[in-house]
């Protein structure tokens, strides 16, 4: 092998000498042969001819010798590259179009890959992430497959399973951080002490939690996130052992999490935000009694070595069934759901990202077809050059390789520009994506991304270069030289190939347009959904009062009432109120409701309603219409009077048409035992409000006045006369006067929250829309190129036709006819393909079917019009052909 390499290298570097030696050797042979024939009595002329025949093509032999010596590879490639560069410089217009097209295609693909890689492919920042699973409860009566878990179920799962090494439980909450600096609300996650060891993550500073920390009295420790440590403690390495005050309790810092560590499971999150610190959670003894506790834990577990997800699922299903049998009052219909962490984190995004990846691959294919088509046109112009090269000894393979080198070179230049574009494009995608949607803050350009780009480039180069090189290499020489390069069989094959490319491009473009059209339609539908309240000029922010300071209901009630009163007096405030879980702020509380007029049922069989605690004037502040009855009165807003207002969905789904007013209902919010819940009287009915997002219908909801169930955490909603954000400072100063340590959190306008709920569908619509537009442009350039080329080819023919009496309209029709035939064929195929493909995106659509006829008709028309427009330009040129000039053409 080494000697082989040396031989090749020598061949490469001593090229001149080797060539001379080879020449000398061959000539010596030739002369010997001539001498031999001459000696046998031939004339010199005959001897030379005979020797030449016996020897074969001289140049061909030399070429084969070069190949045999292995010079070929390296040297001829260099030669090809030099030649290719010269060709590209000479045809700079062609090169620029091809390179730009490819750069767009490769750039878009690389950008989407880097997003896909960061979100779906890169290993999660945990040890052996494939062994981590989420455990949820799910109820066969309700649709949510990822319901949080009740502590007693968690404990039973822990004791009965044999498939997990360990289970960890957690839940997040807001907490007030006080002490040095501004009071600040932070996102705190309470985790079982084994949380970090289950994930296999060690803090970069400090010892972290010990099992001891999970016991009462030892839980006053905290681990900080890297970002929080950097921000609040300026990355101080001496931070371990210091204390911070969280909700009035001192907690000692025992760790800082690694920089790349993130943990955010949206489905179980009450704050909807990434945690900034973790404290150990001690299970109270009461938590083993199902009567006293609801479902609120997020559970993550590590599979034992050898255990599989399906195996774990079947065991968990069996355990859940056992528990349901033992505690029918609390666990009937409840099962368990095992979800790999990777699916949990990116599962929701996967369909959208995969569809974008497919779309962007289509764009690259269209781009390749364009470049291929351009190359075919140029190959036709170079037919004579190639024929001459073949005639003097170049093998078909050699010709094909020359042409392939040109295409790969084109692809390489396009690829490099594409990578630059992709950096910009990926950041654009990231900027267009709503916060927390992708779960990544930056998209690094690393060897994975570069490797992908290189692969895509090479593949593209071979893809679009293959057909032109193949045809060129297999065209007969003599035919070409005789026919002058026109009407040759290769020419016909090229024409066919280019027509096929146009059809293919139209087909792909239509699929993309259809997909993007469907997303636009869904987005319009979604944006047009009435949320059930007026979001204009509405500000919301959260106040969580520490219960260590506001110890009883009275203190809490008074604080909130005074705060609302103070804010309502501020200039520029039109109305103000509060709610425990206003719309678009995430999960809220929900429980079973028994309307006394309805038949008695076990708790598990009761209809479920969302429960909201509201302040004074909530409905008028939000502009939620009162449909029947009345709003809460002053008295009901200061003390427990057991009254409730329900929404229309509640009336429709839980009351089955009976008059709601005056009916009494037991709302199982304070306890799971009926005797401990005083029935509430329905005094009013209000309109439905969408809670989780515009695409989720309103659920049955009951509204209690705040005194009925006093929460320490409420969201204030404020209707301003003008820009609501301008009032934040004034509100903050009122709050400061009441309690200087009390922060405001999650400050946002309702318009922003609304936009946030549209964010995902807006994001996919935008990105796919950009790709579809790109596809449309590329495909129209493609059809334009083919028609324009054919017009040039047929100039003489048009001249003759016009000389014989055809008028401009006839020629126009002729050219447009050729274009429209191809376009319509492509569009027809595209519609058929799109009908199949768009079904894959059904989950991304809202209020429009995947085969929506209106969308399909509209995009088919659009594409047909654009294609026609692209054909019209060369067609016009054809009509302006001067017969005299045309006949002299060539």
Binding status of residue 73 toward other proteins by CB under 8 A: no
Which of 19, 58, 91, 604 touches other proteins (CB under 8 A)?
58
Q: Which of 22/48 has CB closer to other proteins?
A: 22
Beta bridge partners of 250: 245
Write down the residue that tokens 């042979």 correspond to.
29
Q: What angle do CA 492, 496, 497 make, to 5 degrees?
A: 115
Asked whether 647 and 611 are in contact (CB, 8 A), the reply is: no
Q: Which of 65/462 has CB closer to other proteins?
A: 65
Write down the residue that tokens 């909450």 correspond to.
173
Distances (CA, A) of 497 to 11, 169, 197, 430, 696: 40, 61, 61, 39, 49
Write down the residue that tokens 């803090």 correspond to.
203
Which helix (H) or strand (E) segment holds residue 137: the answer is: strand 132-139
To other proteins, the closest distance from the beta carbon of 390 in angstroms equals 17
Question: In terms of Cα–Cα distance, which of 391, 480, 517 is closest to 837?
Answer: 517
To other proteins, the closest distance from the beta carbon of 67 in angstroms equals 7
**By rule CB under 8 A, what count of residues binds other proteins?**
28
> Is residue 181 left, alpha or beta, with left meaning phi > 0 and alpha meaning psi from -120 to 50?
left
Which of 4, 600, 634, 890 touches other proteins (CB under 8 A)?
4
To other proteins, the closest distance from the beta carbon of 8 in angstroms equals 8
Distances (CA, A) of 384 to 179, 472, 474: 85, 10, 13
Which of 19, 48, 70, 872 touches other proteins (CB under 8 A)?
70
Q: Which residues between 446 and 475 bind other proteins (CB under 8 A)? A: none
Binding status of residue 55 toward other proteins by CB under 8 A: yes
To other proteins, the closest distance from the beta carbon of 29 in angstroms equals 4
E strands, 311-393, in order: 334-340
Q: 384 phi and psi, to 5 degrees?
A: -65, -40
Which of 43, 57, 487, 803 touches other proteins (CB under 8 A)?
57
For strands 221-224 and 249-256, give the pairing: parallel
To other proteins, the closest distance from the beta carbon of 770 in angstroms equals 53
To other proteins, the closest distance from the beta carbon of 74 in angstroms equals 13
Q: Which of 32/288 has CB closer to other proteins?
A: 32
Binding status of residue 140 toward other proteins by CB under 8 A: no
Binding status of residue 64 toward other proteins by CB under 8 A: yes
Q: What is the DSSP letter of 423?
A: H
Q: Tokens at residue 269, please?
A: 């999150």
Which of 38, 42, 48, 61 touches other proteins (CB under 8 A)?
61
Question: In terms of Cα–Cα distance, which of 250, 206, 200, 249 is closest to 224?
Answer: 206
To other proteins, the closest distance from the beta carbon of 58 in angstroms equals 7
3-state secondary structure of 636: coil
Distance (Å, whole) CA 579 – CA 82: 73
Q: Which of 67/751 has CB closer to other proteins?
A: 67
Interface mask toward other proteins for 822-861; x: CB under 8 A: ----------------------------------------
Distances (CA, A) of 118 to 126, 344, 411: 15, 15, 25
Which of 12, 38, 49, 67 touches other proteins (CB under 8 A)?
67
Binding status of residue 872 toward other proteins by CB under 8 A: no
Q: Which of 50/574 has CB closer to other proteins?
A: 50
Binding status of residue 391 toward other proteins by CB under 8 A: no
Asked whether 154 and 281 are in contact (CB, 8 A), the reply is: no
Question: In terms of Cα–Cα distance, which of 394, 396, 384 is closest to 479?
Answer: 384
To other proteins, the closest distance from the beta carbon of 404 in angstroms equals 23
To other proteins, the closest distance from the beta carbon of 68 in angstroms equals 4
Distance (Å, whole) CA 420 – CA 56: 51
To other proteins, the closest distance from the beta carbon of 24 in angstroms equals 7
Q: Which of 25/231 has CB closer to other proteins?
A: 25
Binding status of residue 747 toward other proteins by CB under 8 A: no
Binding status of residue 56 toward other proteins by CB under 8 A: yes
Q: Which of 15/630 has CB closer to other proteins?
A: 15
3-state secondary structure of 253: strand
Count CB-CB contacts under 10 A for residue 67: 15
Q: Tokens at residue 475, please?
A: 């065209």
Q: Which of 61/479 has CB closer to other proteins?
A: 61
Backbone Cα Rg of the chain: 38
To other proteins, the closest distance from the beta carbon of 470 in angstroms equals 25
Distances (CA, A) of 457 to 93, 219, 228, 418, 648: 21, 56, 41, 9, 58
Q: Which residues between 10 and 49 bind other proteins (CB under 8 A)? A: 21-22, 24-26, 28-29, 32-33, 36
Stretch that binds other proteins, among 66-74, 344-352, 662-670, 680-688 (CB under 8 A): 66-74
Binding status of residue 3 toward other proteins by CB under 8 A: yes
To other proteins, the closest distance from the beta carbon of 15 in angstroms equals 14
Q: Which of 65/423 has CB closer to other proteins?
A: 65
Q: Which of 401/801 has CB closer to other proteins?
A: 401
Which of 65, 282, 462, 692 touches other proteins (CB under 8 A)?
65
Distance (Å, whole) CA 426 – CA 405: 30
Distance (Å, whole) CA 300 – CA 263: 11
3-state secondary structure of 151: helix
> Is residue 442 left, alpha or beta, with left meaning phi > 0 and alpha meaning psi from -120 to 50?
beta
To other proteins, the closest distance from the beta carbon of 32 in angstroms equals 4
Which helix (H) or strand (E) segment holds residue 667: the answer is: strand 664-667
Count CB-CB contacts under 10 A for residue 590: 21
Which of 68, 182, 216, 431 touches other proteins (CB under 8 A)?
68
To other proteins, the closest distance from the beta carbon of 474 in angstroms equals 23
Q: Which residues between 720 and 739 bind other proteins (CB under 8 A)? A: none
Stretch that binds other proteins, among 51-59, 604-612, 616-624, 644-652 (CB under 8 A): 51-59
To other proteins, the closest distance from the beta carbon of 50 in angstroms equals 10
Write down the residue that tokens 């869904």 correspond to.
522
Give Cα 281 to chain centroid, integer Å.
35
Q: Which of 72/819 has CB closer to other proteins?
A: 72
Q: Which of 33/127 has CB closer to other proteins?
A: 33
Stretch that binds other proteins, among 56-64, 279-287, 490-498, 667-675 (CB under 8 A): 56-64
Binding status of residue 97 toward other proteins by CB under 8 A: no
Beta bridge partners of 188: 173, 277
3-state secondary structure of 654: helix
Stretch that binds other proteins, among 64-72, 230-238, 239-247, 829-837 (CB under 8 A): 64-72
Distance (Å, whole) CA 511 – CA 860: 10
Q: Which residues bind other proteins (CB under 8 A)?
A: 3-4, 7-8, 21-22, 24-26, 28-29, 32-33, 36, 53-58, 60-61, 64-65, 67-70
């Amino acid at each position: 092998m080494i000697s082989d390499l040396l031989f090749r290298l020598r061949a490469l570097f001593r090229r001149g000498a080797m060539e001379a030696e080879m020449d000398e050797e061959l000539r010596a042979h030739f002369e010997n042969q001539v001498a031999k024939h001459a000696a046998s009595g031939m004339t010199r002329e005959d001897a030379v001819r005979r020797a030449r025949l016996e020897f074969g093509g001289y140049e061909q032999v030399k070429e084969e010798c070069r190949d045999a010596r292995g010079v070929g590879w390296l040297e001829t490639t260099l030669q090809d590259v030099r030649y290719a560069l010269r060709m590209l410089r000479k045809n700079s217009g062609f090169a620029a179009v091809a390179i730009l097209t490819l750069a767009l295609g490769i750039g878009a693909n690389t950008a989407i890959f880097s997003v896909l890689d960061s979100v779906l492919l890169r290993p999660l920042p945990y040890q052996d992430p494939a062994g981590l699973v989420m455990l949820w409860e799910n109820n066969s009566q309700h649709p949510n497959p990822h319901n949080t878990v009740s502590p007693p179920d968690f404990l039973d799962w822990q004791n009965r399973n044999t498939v997990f090494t360990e289970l960890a439980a957690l839940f997040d909450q807001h907490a007030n951080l006080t002490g040095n600096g501004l009071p600040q609300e932070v996102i705190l996650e309470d985790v079982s002490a084994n949380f970090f060891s289950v994930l296999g993550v060690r803090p970069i500073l400090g010892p972290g939690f010990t099992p001891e920390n999970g016991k009462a009295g030892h839980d006053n420790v905290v681990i900080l996130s890297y970002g929080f440590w950097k921000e609040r403690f300026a990355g101080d390495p001496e931070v371990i052992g210091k204390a911070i005050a969280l909700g009035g309790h001192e907690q000692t810092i025992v760790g800082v999490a690694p920089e790349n560590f993130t943990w955010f499971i949206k489905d179980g999150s009450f704050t909807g935000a990434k945690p900034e610190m973790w404290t150990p959670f001690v299970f109270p003894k009461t938590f083993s009694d199902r009567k006293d506790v609801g479902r609120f834990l997020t559970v993550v577990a590590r599979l034992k070595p050898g255990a599989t997800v399906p195996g774990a699922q079947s065991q968990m299903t069996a355990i859940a069934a056992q528990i349901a049998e033992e505690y029918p009052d609390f666990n009937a219909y409840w099962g368990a759901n095992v979800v790999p962490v990777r699916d949990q984190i990116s599962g929701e995004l996967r369909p959208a990202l995969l569809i974008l990846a497919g779309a962007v691959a289509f764009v690259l294919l269209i781009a390749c077809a364009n470049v291929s088509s351009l190359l075919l046109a140029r190959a036709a112009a170079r037919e004579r050059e190639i024929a001459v090269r073949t005639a003097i000894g170049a093998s078909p393979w050699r010709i094909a390789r020359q042409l392939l080198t040109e295409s790969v070179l084109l692809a390489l230049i396009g690829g490099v520009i594409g990578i630059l574009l992709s950096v910009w494009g990926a950041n654009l995608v990231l900027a267009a994506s709503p916060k927390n949607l992708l779960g990544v803050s930056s998209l690094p350009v690393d060897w994975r991304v570069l490797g992908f780009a290189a692969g895509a480039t090479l593949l593209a180069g071979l893809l679009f270069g293959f057909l032109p090189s193949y045809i060129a290499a297999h065209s007969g020489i003599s035919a070409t030289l005789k026919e002058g390069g026109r009407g040759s069989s290769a020419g016909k094959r090229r024409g066919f190939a280019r027509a096929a490319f146009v059809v293919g491009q139209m087909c792909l473009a239509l699929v993309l347009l259809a997909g993007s059209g469907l997303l636009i339609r869904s987005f319009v539908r979604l944006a047009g959904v009435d949320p059930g309240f007026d979001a204009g000029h509405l500000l919301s922010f959260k106040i969580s009062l520490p219960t260590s300071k506001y110890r009883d209901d009275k203190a809490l009630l008074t604080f909130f009432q005074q705060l609302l009163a103070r804010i309502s007096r501020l200039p520029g405030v039109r109305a103000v109120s509060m709610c425990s879980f206003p719309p678009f702020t995430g999960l809220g509380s929900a429980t079973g409701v028994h309307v006394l007029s309805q038949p008695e049922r076990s708790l598990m069989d009761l209809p479920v309603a969302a429960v909201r605690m509201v302040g004074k004037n909530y409905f008028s502040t939000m502009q939620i219409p009162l449909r029947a009855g009345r709003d809460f009165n002053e008295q009901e807003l200061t003390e427990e009077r057991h009254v409730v207002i329900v929404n229309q969905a509640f009336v429709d789904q839980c009351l089955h048409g009976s008059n709601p007013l005056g009916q009494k209902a037991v709302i199982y919010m304070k306890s799971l035992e009926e005797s401990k819940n005083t029935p509430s009287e329905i005094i009013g009915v209000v309109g439905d409000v969408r809670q989780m997002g515009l695409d989720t219908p309103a659920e049955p909801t009951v509204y209690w006045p705040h005194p009925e169930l006093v929460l320490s955490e409420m969201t204030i909603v404020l209707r301003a006369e003008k820009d609501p954000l301008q009032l934040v400072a004034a509100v903050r100063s009122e709050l400061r006067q009441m309690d200087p340590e009390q922060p405001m959190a999650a400050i946002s306008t309702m318009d922003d929250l609304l936009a946030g709920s549209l964010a995902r569908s807006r994001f996919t619509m935008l990105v796919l829309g950009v790709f579809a537009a790109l596809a449309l442009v590329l495909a129209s350039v493609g059809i334009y190129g083919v028609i324009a080329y054919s017009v040039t080819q047929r100039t003489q023919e048009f001249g003759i036709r016009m000389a014989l009496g055809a008028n401009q309209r006839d020629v126009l029709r002729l050219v447009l006819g050729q274009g429209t035939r191809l376009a319509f064929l492509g569009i027809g195929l595209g519609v058929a393909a799109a009908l199949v493909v768009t079904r894959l995106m059904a989950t991304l659509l809202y209020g429009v079917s995947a085969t929506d006829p209106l969308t399909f008709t509209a995009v088919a028309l659009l594409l047909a019009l654009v294609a026609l427009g692209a054909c019209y330009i060369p067609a016009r040129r054809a009509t302006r052909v001067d017969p005299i000039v045309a006949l002299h053409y060539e």
